[in-house]
Each structure stands twice: as structure tokens, then as C-alpha cells.
Structure 1
Amino acid sequence: MALEDAFTNFTERDWERKSPDGTVRLAVIGVGGFARNRALPGIADSTYCETTTLVTSSPDRTRTVADSFDIPNVIDYDGFLAGDHAAAYDAAYVATPNALHGTYATVAADRGKHVICEKPLDTSLETAQEIVDACADAGVTLMTAYRLQVEPTVRRTRELVRHGGIGDVAQIHGTFSNPLLDHADPDTWRLDPDLAGGGALVDLGVYPLNTTRFLLDCDPDGVYATTHSSGEPFDPVDEHVSFQLEFPTGATAACTASFNAHANSRLELIGTDGMVTIASPFGGVVPQEIVVESGDLRMEYTGPPVDEVREEFDYFGYCVLTDTDPEPDGPDGLADLRVVEAAYESAKTGRRVGLE
């Protein structure tokens, strides 16, 4: 691949090979900040999905949100479990705290509904496997909500890597820090290990973890990790995490994540013949700024704005409507959870942990 051609079709939806009719009607389960500010607008702008039902602990307070997006049905969690308005949706988007993913995803699958579930799939590998099994038994689509896998900068970078544009990848550096208390109270569920399943690693570290696996098309065979918390309110979870992934190709990835550091994200791939740097890939709004160096050539590229959340729901809807298996499927979510559990074991024991 010629370097100057690497991003010619930057916004190309290489996964979109048909033009299916209709939309997938969604029940959005959990109407927190991300759902209100990013997911619902993204779904509203999408071609293949629409929201028909909101599931919330406070239906009365959520009516205003429903009205602003012209969503006809608002029910509470017990109502969802009981099957209220089940005929009004085809799929469930599970955006609850992590420990509740299994409950709502498996109920949706048992009801014959497709599932798109926020990451991680659950707080334990065992429960996540139950989600995967329930969706497989019901014959419904399961997608883990790794939106960066449909984000153009990341997809074009994967193509560049696959075509040997920077030679063999030797090193990856990924970092994601976000000062949690700047936008959340100290009693946020993200600092409750029973609800979150961990701290900075499961909330932020999964972004460089999954993106690295996606770009290399390979799973790590070893991990070494350290965690640190400086005091309240971070004591119950990991405030900061650093982990190194070892891949069977010989590549290594050095990743960090933090709940209490200046907001920053960056991804860098260093190959035998060049390197790729992506600015702010994990912060929620990717600026599509990328630098590629290969031999004597250096290219800086800024692509047009793309809403990765809209792309995510369009991709999910497309997969459901065309009976296509999504790339970030259930097993993809399981693979990350295996690494997360191994990383926490490593941090506890101070030793490298091997992965099958």
C-alpha cells in the first residue's frame, strides 16, 4: 500500500456491502450520561437503528428525555424483566453498570432480542460467558460495544498495518486518562468494585487493550500489570494502572490508564519500517488526526468529522438486518475479560501471568 493512498477513502464503510431495508428498534437499558448525551443522539442520527423504549429507574424523570427524542415507551427495570412493551423493540442496548449487564442481556436474549452490550460484557468471565451462551442458544446477534472498531481512523490504521505499511509491528504505546471526579460524584458506581468490577483498567484500560488486539488481529499470550490508588475515594478500586501485553508475534504493548490524571489519550504503533500515531483515540470524540512515518516519508492527515457512536449503532443495525456476525462479538468481549482478570492477578502477585 502506497503511503499517500492509505487514507484516500477515509470514511469508507468497508463493512457496508448491502443496503438493507428497515431499522432495528432498540430498548435502551440504562439512561445515564453517556446514553443521554452520546448514545441516544447517535441512534437518532443513524440509518439502521431507532430507539422505541427507554428502561430506567426513574420513568417520570426520564419522560423529558423520551420526549426530546420522540421515544414512545418508558418503563422501569422491573417492567423490562416482566416483558412490558416487549413487542415494541427488536434489540436491547445494555448501558447499565457493569455488574448488571448479565441480568438484562440474558433476559433480552431469552426473549429473542438481539443484544448490543457496553464493555466489559460483565464483571466476571463466568457471567459474560452466560451472556454469550444465551445469545447463541437464542440465535440472536450479540455485539460488544467497542465503537473504535468502526471508527475510520482505527479501521484505516488496521488496513495500513495489514498491508505492511510500517513493516512488522514491534511496539505499541496506548494511554487513556480521564479525571473521573471532574464529571462524577465520589459515590459514582464506577468506584464501587461490586458494580464496576474494577477501576481504571475496566473503565478506561479496555480501550487501548481492545484496540491493540483489533489492530494486530492477535491475542496476547502474557500480561504484566501494576495498580495504585492514592486514597479515598479511589481506595476500593485501581486509580491508576499500567500493563504490558506480550503477543505471540513478538510485539509488545505498553498501556496505562488513570481515573485521576490530566485528560489525555494517545495510541502509537512502532514497526520495523515506520510508525503511526493517532491523536486522542479514546476520549469519546476522535479528532481523526493521524501521523504516519514510513522510510523517508512522513504524512500528517486529518479526516472529516465522524460520529463513532452513530457508526457503532449503524454497524450493529446493519449486522442484525443482514444476518452478519459483528467483529466485536461476544467472544471478543470474553477475550478482553480474560486479559483483565490476568492483569489483576499479575498486579496482586507481582508476576507475569500467561494467557492461553
Structure 2
Amino acid sequence: MLPLTDYERQDWKTAAEGTVRFALIGLGWWTTDLAMPAIEAAEHCETTVLVSSSSEKAGRIADNHDVPNAITYDEYHEGAASDEYDAVYVCTPNAFHLDYAETAAEFGKAVLCEKPMEATVQRAERLVDACEENDVPLMVAYRMHTDPAVRRARELIRDGFIGEPVSVYGNNSQPILEMIPDPNQWRLNPDLTGYGSSVMDLGIYSINTTRFLLDADPVAVHARMTSSHEAFSDVPDERSSAMFRFEDDVHMTTTSSQNAQDDTHLKITGTDGQIELTPAFHGTCTLHLSRGELNVTVEHDGIDAQREMREEFEYFANRVLSGEEIYADGDHGLTDMRILAAMYESAERDELVEL
């Protein structure tokens, strides 16, 4: 059995030399408060270009963070500062990811795209095609993949700590209207977010992290969604739940809501033991391990969202510089998009949908 607390936290690391210069596209709070400090702290990474709809905003943030280039979206598409960056980090509303990734691919730049990859399966397929046709690296920014607690849980599952996986329960919820008190925000606009809100933004965490942990994909889903609050009138999933059947007959229940108390956890139960991540997706991810009379809690001090982002950028830069295979790549992200589409289809029809 693998040791429970002593392990290599960056087991993905390979020899790499050089620096990946990033253009950051979309300067919302996630980029400015988390991504920029993460890049500054990461190995082999540097922010050299900021891209925003507002030249004033881009310039002000660039001055505050000593970034040499600040351009608008139009200037970016026209090729401004294209010699000043090697890769883009796309953190705009979902429905704009394709446009910025296509331009990056045309200029031969590597693409790190926030999840979910796009607003619809069709647009996500075009994004993947653009990167493949121009032979540029593409990674979907699932930061949980480089979280030490998640990676350790994956190793333990592979090593048989819980026996054969049997069931999974995941939840991700937050009070979005308290966090951003604007009912017209983009996450509640289906033209910008895609099929819905809670599942696209939050539910994806439980689903994708389970895929990563089990190295398996769902084969069927039955989902239910409701919206009653007036701010959610244009999206179907103020509250969402789903039952998945994964390969090897593993069953998963997942819930998500943009209008509930902040809560994130993921629990994997097997024939011999159990692994629980709580909090799982926001805050410091902590492992709770149980098997028979054994009960162990493994804490990871300082591993919060910003540190997860640092690990994510370090991983991406390492792969770009070394030429090693990237995970999660475009095909991995497309699988999630098809899972999301099936969930919304299932909820609309109130029927089981095969994947």
C-alpha cells in the first residue's frame, strides 16, 4: 500500500528550460486576483500581454503589475503584440473562448482555455479543430488535476486503497448573487454561459474530477433541474441533480446550485474503503481517508485556488517547453462538453440519456 502522507507533489514534472510568455485574455477578478499572482509565482511563466475590451482597464492593470503590453480585443485579433507572447490564457465568458483560441492558433500560440471549453459542443469542436489544424498545444484549465490532494487520491484509488470503486457523491454550490450582486451577470445569460449556469460553472467540477480520479467516463445520465428565483429565469438549472452510471458500473450522484450556501465536497466509496475531499473545489482541499478501523486526515497547507492555479500554469508551461503530452487536452474537454449537453437534454426530457 502506498504511504498516505509522504509523496511527490509534482509527479508530472519533467526537465524543461525557458519561459512561456502569456497573454491573458479577459481581465475579470479570476484573472487579476488569482491567475496573475499564480503566474508571477510559477516557474517558467511570465505575463507579458494583457487583453481587455477596455484599453483603459488593460493599461491600468498593466501599470499596476508591471506588464509591458496592454491591448484591446480588436488589436489582439489584428495581431498586435503577437511577438510578445508564446501562449494565451483565455478567461472570458464561455461563448467567447472559440474566437480568442482561433486567433491564437492562427498566430501559432499555445492555448490554455478555462473550463468549460465553450458554450456548446459544436463550438468546442471548432476550437479543438483550430488548434489541431495549426498544430498548437491546447489544454483545458482543470486546476483540480494538479492539486496535490486530488493527485494523491487518484494514486490511492489506483493502488486499491478503497478496493473496487462503487459510488461517488459530489456537490458544488455557491451564492452567486451574494458574491456578484447583479442579476444581469454573464453566468445567468445563456447567450454567454451556454446550456445553463449551475452545471456549466459548478457541476463540471464534480464530474470532471471524478473522471480524473477514476480514469473512467460516464456512459449514461439522468438529470433534473429547476429554476424558481427570478434571476435564474433564463437558465434551467438554479438547482441541479444527476445520477450517472460510469464504466465498470460505478454510480455517481452529483448536485450543484448557484443559489445555495458555499459548499464543495467529493466522496468516493469502494468495496474496502472511502476517500473524501472536503472542501473539494474551493478553499484548501483536504483528504479524509477511511478503511476498516483506519481514519486519517491529510491536510495540504497553503494549497488554495491560487496555489492550484500556480501548479496549473507550471504544468502547462512545462508541457509546452518540453513537448510532452498534455492532459487535459482538447479531446478530454470535448468529452465534458458532451456530458454537459447530455445532462441538459436529460433534464429537459426527464429521461435517461446514453453517452
TM-score range, shorter chain: over 0.9
2:286 pairs with 1:289: yes
2:350 pairs with 1:350: yes
In 1, Cα distance between equivalents of 2:166 and 2:327: 24
Structure 1 residue aligned with 2:131, among 124, 132, 135? 135
TM, length-normalised to structure 2: 0.96
In 2, Cα distance between equivalents of 1:300 and 1:36: 33
In 2, Cα distance between equivalents of 1:55 and 1:292: 43
- 8 Å CA contact 1:288–1:305 kept in 2: the answer is no
TM, length-normalised to structure 1: 0.96
| Equivalent position amino acid for 1:231 in 2 | H
Q: Secondary structure of 1:161's partner?
A: helix
Displacement after TM superposition at 1:344 (Å): 0.4
| Equivalent position amino acid for 1:202 in 2 | M
The sequence identity of aligned pairs, in percent, is 42
| Equivalent position amino acid for 2:279 in 1 | S
Displacement after TM superposition at 1:199 (Å): 0.8
2:237 pairs with 1:236: no
Displacement after TM superposition at 1:188 (Å): 0.5
For structure 2, the 5+ residue unaligned runs are: none
Q: Secondary structure of 1:87's partner?
A: coil
Corresponding residue for 2:297? 300
- 8 Å CA contact 1:175–1:257 kept in 2: the answer is yes
In 2, Cα distance between equivalents of 1:254 and 1:44: 38
Corresponding residue for 1:101? 97
Corresponding residue for 1:275? 274
Residues 74-108 of structure 1: per-residue CA shift (max 9 Å, x gap): 11100001000000000111101000000110110
RMSD, matched Cα: 1.0
Corresponding residue for 1:219? 217
In 1, Cα distance between equivalents of 2:285 and 2:179: 25
Q: Secondary structure of 2:184's partner?
A: coil
- Which 4+ stretches in 1 moved above 6 angstroms? none
- 8 Å CA contact 1:241–1:256 kept in 2: the answer is yes
Residues 144-168 of structure 1: per-residue CA shift (max 9 Å, x gap): 0000000000000000000001101
Residues 280-330 of structure 1: per-residue CA shift (max 9 Å, x gap): 1111x3x23211011221112212323101000000000100001211111
Q: Secondary structure of 2:187's partner?
A: helix
| Equivalent position amino acid for 1:261 in 2 | A
- 8 Å CA contact 2:153–2:287 kept in 1: the answer is no
2:257 pairs with 1:261: no
- 8 Å CA contact 1:141–1:325 kept in 2: the answer is no
Structure 1 residue aligned with 2:207, among 206, 209, 221? 209
Residues 11-55 of structure 1: per-residue CA shift (max 9 Å, x gap): 52000022x221100110000010011011101111121110011
For structure 1, the 5+ residue unaligned runs are: none
In 2, Cα distance between equivalents of 1:99 and 1:231: 24
- 8 Å CA contact 1:44–1:69 kept in 2: the answer is no
Structure 2 residue aligned with 1:123, among 112, 119, 123? 119
- 8 Å CA contact 2:58–2:71 kept in 1: the answer is no
- 8 Å CA contact 2:217–2:246 kept in 1: the answer is yes
Corresponding residue for 1:167? 163
Displacement after TM superposition at 1:6 (Å): 2.4
Q: Secondary structure of 1:165's partner?
A: coil
The aligned runs of 1:43-122 (5 Å cut-off) are 43-122=39-118
In 1, Cα distance between equivalents of 2:286 and 2:118: 32
Displacement after TM superposition at 1:171 (Å): 0.6
In 1, Cα distance between equivalents of 2:104 and 2:57: 24
In 1, Cα distance between equivalents of 2:85 and 2:300: 35
Q: What is the aligned length? A: 349
